[in-house]
Amino acid sequence: MRWADLDLFGHVNNVVYIDYLQEARVDMLRVHARGPQTDGLAEGVVVAEHQVQYVAPAHFAFAPIKVEVWVTEIQAASFTLAYEVFQDDAAGERTVYLRATSLLAPYVFADERPRRLTAEERASLEAYLEPAPRRRVEVSEARHTELGHFPLTVRFSDVDAYGHVNNVKYLEYFQEARILALEKAFQEHQGEGRPGMVVAQADLVYKRPILQRPERYDVWSWVADVGTKSVVIDGEITDPLASPERAVLARSRFVLVFFDVATGRSTTPPADVRERLLSFVS
């Protein structure tokens, strides 16, 4: 864990955890694999989906954070990995910070096409298999408004070795767009003030790769639901230069919980804050 991994609350930032998952995935498939059969899956895959549950905040410590990785599903041209991010003490007591799954598809980057798993790759993945069902990601119908619009210019440093924007950066884009939308929504709000928010759940579906180019992309955010202590913000990234059937590049759903920094617990927001958010649901 690095100081740069922390957010304004002193917690590991929700985006940084996805970096941890990526590093653990490559480590499992390449460094600690039971044979060379999974070498091509360490980096020769595209992420089709992330489902992330943030269980508890992690604070800076000199003790290492650990990540366990295993396989929950193997299909002809995809496989699903599950993760648990945690620390354990001298007595072996485990504090879990995050649980997640990633749907991964083998990909031939030279030809820009997916491929099927080989028999050898399947056999190697089966050694880590603990079958479990994968939840379907549901994102509400898109609502594009100026309030929820974030113009995105891809930076050169966002791109991986294959010329695609790295999957972790998508979460960063959605985070920047979400923060901007909330700031615009409350910029003239003179009520009791609003509490902090922490991400409790993040679901992402990757549709098509984002490439580095001078022309911008568009990130859209909208409020899908407001609960007693939480708010659901959905989003999508679109390409304004693409045809309508190819315009959507990624979709997301984030569940945010209102958070009292002083107590470190979830809290009910003031009535006027909740009403302000509800006004953006419809």
* SS3 annotation, 60-104: CCCCCCEEEEEEEEECCCCEEEEEEEEEECCCCCEEEEEEEEEEE
User: Where do you find CATH 3.10.129.10 in the chain?
Assistant: 1-136, 137-282
- Which amino acid does the sequence have at 241? L
pLDDT of residue 92: 85
CA pair distance 17, 21, nearest whole angstrom: 6
Mean per-residue pLDDT for 219-247? 96
Q: How many angstroms separate the CA atoms of 29 and 102, rounded?
A: 14
pLDDT computed for residue 162 by the predictor: 84
Residue type, 267: T
The answer to whether 69 and 129 have CB atoms below 8 angstroms apart is no
- Which pLDDT band holds residue 59 (cuts at 50, 70, 90)? confident
| Rounded (10°) angle between helices 271-278 and 167-186 | 110
Q: What is the CATH number of domain 137-282?
A: 3.10.129.10
- Kindly report the backbone phi and psi dihedral angles of residue 157, in degrees, each rounded to the nearest multiple of 5, phi listed first: -70, -10
The first and second tokens of residue 76, run together, are 């002809």
Q: Is this model's pTM higher than 0.85 or not?
A: yes
What spatial distance separates the first Cα and last Cα of the chain, rounded to whole Å? 41
Could you tell me which CATH number the domain at 1-136 has? Answer: 3.10.129.10
Residues 119-159: tens digit of each pLDDT: 999 999 999 999 999 999 999 999 999 999 999 999 999 99
pLDDT score, position 193: 61
Gap between the Cα atoms of 239 and 206, Å rounded: 13
Q: Is the pLDDT of residue 83 over 70?
A: yes
Cα–Cα distance, 153 to 237 (Å, whole number): 12
Is the predicted pLDDT of residue 190 greater than 60, yes or no? Answer: no
CB 26 within 8 A of CB 161: no
Tell me the pLDDT tens digit for each residue of 10-21.
Answer: 888 999 999 999
Average per-residue pLDDT for the chain:
91
- pLDDT category at 93 given cuts 50, 70, 90 is very high
Q: What's the pLDDT score for residue 191?
A: 54
Q: Are strands 94-108 and 79-88 parallel, antiparallel or unpaired?
A: antiparallel
Pairing of strands 45-54, 113-114: unpaired
User: What is the average pLDDT across 167-192?
Assistant: 85
